Amino acid sequence: MNDATTPAPTKPRRRARAGDGSAYQTADGRWRAAVMLPDPATGRPVRRYLSGKTERELLAKLRAARADADAGRSTGRTPTLATWTRRWLLLTRSTVRTSTVDGYRANLERHVLPKLGDVELAKLRPSDVEALTTQLLASGLAASTVVLVRTTLVICLNAAVRDGVLDRNPASSARAPRVPRTEKRALSPAELRQLLAVAAADDEVGPAVELLATTGLRRGELLGLTWGDVSASSLTVRRAYVRTAAQAVGLAEPKSSRSARTILLPARAAAALARRRELAGDPLPSDPVFPGRFGADPMHPDGFGNAFRRLADRAQLHDVTAHTLRHTVASQLLAAGVPVRDVAEALGHSPAVLLRTYAHAQPGSRERVAAALDGVLDG
């Protein structure tokens, strides 16, 4: 028996309008619609649900969603940061070095996704990114590493803006952490002579140290050299032997387009390579100049680093690394008055970054500026 006091259920009021999706009024008086719109991550059509307090409000939302879709702007739900990151890393492999992609993955998976991976891209705010970098700094992560993490996120989300998944990049708007400026270590001329004296008597890594100290090669570029890259008067950087984020090592393209370069050898560098060739016997053009234990592959970066430290310790230089020699070459050349562009070309570096990093290595620059202005004004 039915209860006469119980009202009959209200059926949803439906109204179909051409091009407006399937719009209807629910039992509580609100209006809803189902409409097919392109998925922001894949471009394939998917069903979206919109609602409004009135039919007019709902239809306005439908028209706005379609206008956004037609203009290539994001519509409806967007993928989570974790979902977008996986897709972006996969596509990025075709445009940058594998080691670079591995670095991106490490920065995102270790530091970003554990805290922000479940957030929809459209709901990600600059303040979320700033909160993340603040937490990373508080955890003890170096400020330079936190800046690199934020930069990786900026690059990742720039691709989402380009694809129309996002209208703006929240990571770009987030304020970057302040990195304390530190002076880079460079050897004095006396320290450099001290190191080279020990290197000249060392057959294990001595020639490699002499080459680093006279050319400014990066460690990976040094270890990636084959005898086919070397002549009596020059060497050509074509590849680097580097470690990836997965801790594997392998040959990779040079770090940037500037890094692929030919270097004319100073006399000390040419002599070091001649000594290394004599130790190698009769190497093939494809053989590494500085081989590892078994000869077929280059010396492992860790093995080279350990051997370098032992040599530096014998020279009583306990705070020196292979990269210190690159800083030393840059500083010495600039101090000698070699133009910034020439130094940058020799090191495979950006002139702007080189000048910003090594401005201290150009003594008398203020005096030269003042004298030049006096000459203009007095002339």
Q: What is the CATH number of the domain that holds 234?
A: 1.10.443.10
Same domain, 148 and 219: no
User: What local confidence, expressed as pLDDT, does residue 71 receive?
Assistant: 59
CA 103 to chain centre: 7
* pLDDT tens digits along 315-369: 999 999 999 999 999 988 988 888 889 999 999 988 888 877 776 655 666 666 6
How many C-alpha atoms does 168 have within 13 Å on its Cβ side?
9
Using CA atoms, how far apart are residues 214 and 327, in angstroms rounded to an integer?
Answer: 11
User: Lowest mean pLDDT: which of 23-32, 66-75, 214-223?
Assistant: 66-75
Tokens standing for residue 303: 């093995």
User: Lowest mean pLDDT: which of 26-35, 210-219, 269-278?
Assistant: 26-35
Give the global pTM: 0.67
Same domain, 57 and 86: no
Would 366 be classed as within a structural domain?
no
User: What local confidence, expressed as pLDDT, does residue 21 receive?
Assistant: 53
User: What local confidence, expressed as pLDDT, does residue 202 receive?
Assistant: 94
Same domain, 56 and 86: no
Q: Is the pLDDT of residue 207 over 90?
A: yes
Would 124 be classed as within a structural domain?
yes
Give the domain-ending residue among 173, 199, 217: 173
Same domain, 213 and 332: yes
* pLDDT tens digits along 145-186: 999 999 999 999 999 988 878 878 999 999 988 877 777 788
Q: Is the pLDDT of residue 5 over 60?
A: no
User: What local confidence, expressed as pLDDT, does residue 224 receive?
Assistant: 95
Would 250 be classed as within a structural domain?
yes
Total of domains in the chain: 3
User: What local confidence, expressed as pLDDT, does residue 140 receive?
Assistant: 92
Residue type (1 letter), 299: M
pLDDT above 70 covers a percentage of the chain that reads 82
Give the domain-ending residue among 105, 139, 173: 173
Would 258 be classed as within a structural domain?
yes
User: What local confidence, expressed as pLDDT, does residue 335 receive?
Assistant: 85
Same domain, 218 and 155: no
Same domain, 288 and 357: yes
Same domain, 162 and 101: yes
Q: Is the pLDDT of residue 206 over 50?
A: yes
115: domain CATH number? 1.10.150.130
Q: Is the pLDDT of residue 9 over 60?
A: no
Would 199 be classed as within a structural domain?
yes
pLDDT above 90 covers a percentage of the chain that reads 52
User: What local confidence, expressed as pLDDT, does residue 16 receive?
Assistant: 41
User: What local confidence, expressed as pLDDT, does residue 70 receive?
Assistant: 67
- Mean pLDDT (the chain) is 84
* pLDDT tens digits along 51-92: 788 888 888 878 877 776 665 555 556 789 999 999 999 999
Would 368 be classed as within a structural domain?
no
User: What local confidence, expressed as pLDDT, does residue 252 receive?
Assistant: 81
Same domain, 85 and 161: yes
Would 6 be classed as within a structural domain?
no
Same domain, 219 and 299: yes
Give the domain-ending residue among 105, 140, 173: 173
Using CA atoms, how far apart are residues 325 and 125, in angstroms rounded to an integer?
Answer: 42
Mean pLDDT of 206-232: 96
Same domain, 256 and 295: yes
Strand duo 249-252 + 261-264: pairing = unpaired
Mean pLDDT of 275-303: 91
Domain span including residue 113: 81-173
Q: Is the pLDDT of residue 117 over 60?
A: yes
User: What local confidence, expressed as pLDDT, does residue 370 receive?
Assistant: 66
Same domain, 28 and 122: no
User: What local confidence, expressed as pLDDT, does residue 361 receive?
Assistant: 58
Would 102 be classed as within a structural domain?
yes
* pLDDT tens digits along 298-309: 999 999 999 999
User: What local confidence, expressed as pLDDT, does residue 18 receive?
Assistant: 36
Same domain, 226 and 156: no
